[in-house]
Structure 1
Amino acid sequence: MNTADLGLPVDVPSTALFTDHYELTMLQAALKAGSADRRSVFEVFTRRLPEGRRYGVVAGTGRVLDAVENFRFDPGVLGFLRERDVVDEPTLEWLASYRFDGDIWGYPEGEVYFPGSPILRVEGSFAECVLLETVILSILNHDSAIAAAASRMASAAGGRPLIEMGARRTHELAAVAASRAAYVGGFTTTSDLAAGFRYGIPTVGTSAHAFTLVHDTERDAFRAQVDSLGRGTTLLVDTYDVAEAVRLAVEVAGPELGAVRIDSGDLLLVAHRVRQQLDELGATKARIIVTSDLDEYAIASLAAAPVDAYGVGTQLVTGSGHPTASMVYKLVARAESADPKAPLVPVAKKSLGGKTSIGGRKWAARRLDGSGTAEAEVIGTEAVPAELGDGLLQVRLVEGGRVVAREPLDVVRERHARVRAGLPLSATQLSRGEAVIPTEYV
């Protein structure tokens, strides 16, 4: 596996250090105590959705699979741990041959989730499973938060294309992951070439105000762009005077002008004026693209405007106010002993402040009403009721350490659109509210 495929710098040999110090010290103590080999079941879930959100979106699963596959302790990593005296030599020897050999089940990427949903289940020895906690949560929390924001924006856009433009508003590696998650959530293109290269997401671009300002006149800038990129290009028209820029844009490119971009001002008012002007000048097919700190609420407010596409940056890559999905990774069952045949027993954290969990390996199913619309997320630890057998959500992702469920990103994106369409209509409301369907435990 090439680390570049994971969005890593080329000098990072593996994902093994994308973890917390205490994962390794717990491992050392468990190895000494004889509990490291106990068969264990960990689950990823969230106790609540971000305030006001109606559903969550599972995103990052494909990146998790890559990270697990590439989670190994090569000589450079072991040397760092030895130099820092993080763990002792017996533990370093154990880590040198580490490969995850267990099983992982989870919601397919693009699926939606609700409070308590067992989004991912990791099974194996305590030692091999506990090491994966941080990297799994890091990926799922980030990507799911971005995908949820993207999904809300896609709903608000009502079928109009969305361009992901947030690379300059976040860490350069997070930008690539954010672009991928946005595509899952319903965005159609990205401005980030690294995301296009790594994940095959279609890339687009226009021009910045600097391109206009570097030329002696706005006409010169438009002429240079059209001469280079053709009449179908997108011209930025709000550097000086919008009406004059639109007139120049059509004069330079002709009625075949591809599009204009508006990046400031009262977008609703300006879009109407620009549309009228373009039509009067004969550029009836020229599109209008709007940018400027958009979020799902701003996009919804432009539903009646003659806008053809939206470019979104800051609010998208920060999860539109919710930059994490608040998922946790908890031990829910473990064997009574290190004997491979020892039975599993449920375990759960019991504490104050609402940070409790429910023990036992869980299944999850979505119950539908008579019209095929989701009406409840049903979770249990005992036998699956016959009427829910066809609605089970978890699929096997890793079997015996081998990834068995990689999917093209377009398949994931289409799944999310299909699943979202199967939720109650209130799921797409932007007003604050509770989860659109309840979580029931049986």
Structure 2
Amino acid sequence: MTLGHAHAGGLSTALLTDRYELTMVDAALRDGTAERRCVFELFGRRLAGGRRFGVVAGTGRLLELIRHFRFGADELRFLRDEKVVDAATLDFLEGYRFTGSITGYREGELYFPGSPILTVEGTFAEAVILETVALSVLNHDSAVATAAARMSIAAGDRPLAEMGSRRAAESSAVAAARAAYIAGFGATSNLEAGRKWGIPTMGTAAHSWTLLHDSEEAAFRAQVDALGAGTTLLVDTYDIRRGVETAVRIAGTGLGGVRIDSGDLPIVAAEVRAQLDGLGATATRITVTSDLDEHAIAALAASPVDSYGVGTSVVTGSGTPTAGMVYKLVARQDAAGGWVAVAKASTDKGSKGGRKAAFRTLDGGTATSEVVVVSDGFEELATVSSHPGARALQVPLVVDGEVEAAFEGTAGVEAARAHHALVREELPVRGLALSRSDPAIPTVYTDAQ
């Protein structure tokens, strides 16, 4: 969801940033380096949580936020009153509009350590202040999408629904529903995610519905009267076995489904399936929703479960709530106009300088490596549009300040979901495992020729 204050072009997102981005711009305007052309790169040094792959998510949201990254009267007044920057910088920010270019991995794409997920080219002043918002979006959404992909792998052909809104901040909940959908979930309980991003919504009743009525039977009867026999009845408010019997008696053998939200799920699911079949409700589906994560879902693979509802775990990245990505300056022009590769050399936090082009090598359709071609500047990479036995990973997202609209909105979400389904098929078998390990494929750096 877009936050900010109104301005001529819509809602401003310009203050979704850290103070030091603007103080750097202020100082750069003073010393004359603000207009120096630069290349920033967003990447992860490693895969957070010992995951074997990561999933890029949030790109469409980020492009929308960049489109509205403008400093209106309210934003400028705040910066002036708080004495964040001087008057000359306020004048600069009043006319700010990103006019550079951004290339990056498609939303839904897999990524690995060192993958140049986003490359931002522009002047220092216009590119540096996008750092915080880019990291805020991609770190959160990619963490959720990576967890969701692992759950989708564990679930196999069984549907997954995201239902974690109450375990996240309100805007984060909508973003998480979007990221989970891209990575393989089929529906969300969040209506705003359905309205804004076109994600199918689901949900019937909570335990409070049953507790509201004088009896479980009365609650089930009222729900069936309202929603039809194809609804899903929550059967574990009191005694599960009695709940199942009551559900079938009220709705008939055509009952759509039952939901189980407690107990030892493999045992309970087997007992409920046997009871439903014994009552003639052989087509009634079983949904389980009790604090599931990818490991719990995998443990239910042999159980007679038809679908899963996941809440807390997916919206919090299943224990890894951020992807750990960083945004670093990797190349800049010098005083003479030539390009220089630059990199942070800190222990354990070093980066690799130079502009990069990325490719994924394949053997019979299976990924074998992430090849990153490195150059000091632009010229050497101008002809690097392919690599033997590999597919190119980067696409234009913003060209000369103009956002590529195809990646935004509901169409962008559906394209990202479809792309993810395709590229996940490239993972080697070891990449499908849920245990902590090294990345599924190595990242190989090579110099531009």
Q: TM-score range by the shorter chain?
A: over 0.9
Separation (CA, whole Å) in 2 of partners of 1:189 and 1:357: 38
Tell me which amino acid in the other structure corresponds to 1:372. Answer: G
1:365 touches 1:388 (CA, 8 Å); kept in 2? no
Q: Does 1:410 align with 2:414?
A: yes
Q: Does 1:145 align with 2:138?
A: no
Is the partner of 1:365 in helix, strand or coil?
A: strand
* CA deviation profile, 1:48-71 (whole Å, cap 9, x unmatched): 001321000000000110011110
Is the partner of 2:65 in helix, strand or coil?
A: helix
Q: CA RMSD in A?
A: 1.4
* CA deviation profile, 1:127-159 (whole Å, cap 9, x unmatched): 000010000000000000000000000000011
Deviation at 1:296?
Answer: 0.1
Moved more, 382-391 or 410-419: 382-391
Match of 2:285 among 284, 287, 296: 287
* CA deviation profile, 1:36-93 (whole Å, cap 9, x unmatched): 0000000000100013210000000001100111100000110111111111110000
1:118 touches 1:362 (CA, 8 Å); kept in 2? yes
1:7 touches 1:177 (CA, 8 Å); kept in 2? no
Deviation at 1:411?
Answer: 1.5
1:398 touches 1:405 (CA, 8 Å); kept in 2? no
Tell me which amino acid in the other structure corresponds to 2:357. Answer: W
Give the 5 Å matches for 1:85-96.
85-96=83-94
Which residue in the other structure is 1:441 paired with?
445
TM-score, with normalisation over the residues of structure 2?
Answer: 0.94
Separation (CA, whole Å) in 2 of partners of 1:10 and 1:295: 38
Q: Does 1:365 align with 2:359?
A: yes
Separation (CA, whole Å) in 1 of partners of 2:70 and 2:188: 32
Moved more, 388-397 or 324-333: 388-397
Separation (CA, whole Å) in 2 of partners of 1:90 and 1:389: 52
Which residue in the other structure is 1:3 paired with?
none
Deviation at 1:425?
Answer: 1.1
Deviation at 1:9?
Answer: 6.9
Which residue in the other structure is 1:273 paired with?
271
Tell me which amino acid in the other structure corresponds to 2:401. Answer: G
* CA deviation profile, 1:284-334 (whole Å, cap 9, x unmatched): 111000001100000000001111110000011110010000000000001
Match of 2:105 among 89, 104, 107: 107
* CA deviation profile, 1:381-420 (whole Å, cap 9, x unmatched): 2454964385211111100100125332111111111111
Separation (CA, whole Å) in 1 of partners of 2:339 and 2:98: 20
Percent identity, aligned pairs only? Answer: 60
Separation (CA, whole Å) in 1 of partners of 2:299 and 2:444: 35
Q: Residue 386 and residue 414 in structure 1: after superposition, are their counterparts in 2 closer, same or farther (change >3 A)?
A: closer
Tell me which amino acid in the other structure corresponds to 2:439. Answer: A
Q: Does 1:381 align with 2:374?
A: yes
Is the partner of 1:434 in helix, strand or coil?
A: coil
Which residue in the other structure is 2:396 paired with?
396
Q: Residue 392 and residue 405 in structure 1: after superposition, are their counterparts in 2 closer, same or farther (change >3 A)?
A: farther
Separation (CA, whole Å) in 2 of partners of 1:284 and 1:112: 39
Which residue in the other structure is 2:239 paired with?
241
Which residue in the other structure is 1:347 paired with?
342
Which residue in the other structure is 2:378 paired with?
none
Give the 5 Å matches for 1:54-93.
54-93=52-91
Separation (CA, whole Å) in 1 of partners of 2:65 and 2:388: 32
Which residue in the other structure is 1:189 paired with?
187
Which residue in the other structure is 1:202 paired with?
200
Which residue in the other structure is 2:429 paired with?
425
Separation (CA, whole Å) in 1 of partners of 2:221 and 2:3: 40
Separation (CA, whole Å) in 2 of partners of 1:233 and 1:380: 54
Structure 1's unaligned 5+ residue stretches are: 1-5
Q: Residue 130 and residue 215 in structure 1: after superposition, are their counterparts in 2 closer, same or farther (change >3 A)?
A: same
* CA deviation profile, 1:250-302 (whole Å, cap 9, x unmatched): 00001110100000001101111111111111111110000011000000000
Is the partner of 2:71 in helix, strand or coil?
A: coil
* CA deviation profile, 1:206-265 (whole Å, cap 9, x unmatched): 211110001000000000000011110110000001011100100000111010000000
Tell me which amino acid in the other structure corresponds to 2:345. Answer: K
2:103 touches 2:398 (CA, 8 Å); kept in 1? yes
Tell me which amino acid in the other structure corresponds to 1:357. Answer: S
Separation (CA, whole Å) in 1 of partners of 2:47 and 2:87: 42
Separation (CA, whole Å) in 2 of partners of 1:294 and 1:10: 38
1:366 touches 1:388 (CA, 8 Å); kept in 2? no
Q: Residue 222 and residue 385 in structure 1: after superposition, are their counterparts in 2 closer, same or farther (change >3 A)?
A: closer
2:48 touches 2:323 (CA, 8 Å); kept in 1? yes
TM-score, with normalisation over the residues of structure 1?
Answer: 0.96
Separation (CA, whole Å) in 2 of partners of 1:37 and 1:402: 19
Tell me which amino acid in the other structure corresponds to 2:308. Answer: Y
1:13 touches 1:74 (CA, 8 Å); kept in 2? no
Is the partner of 1:374 in helix, strand or coil?
A: strand
Moved more, 389-398 or 136-145: 389-398
Is the partner of 1:320 in helix, strand or coil?
A: coil
Separation (CA, whole Å) in 1 of partners of 2:204 and 2:5: 30
1:7 touches 1:176 (CA, 8 Å); kept in 2? no
Matched residues, number: 432
Separation (CA, whole Å) in 2 of partners of 1:66 and 1:81: 23
Which residue in the other structure is 2:311 paired with?
313
Which residue in the other structure is 2:299 paired with?
301
Match of 2:124 among 108, 123, 126: 126
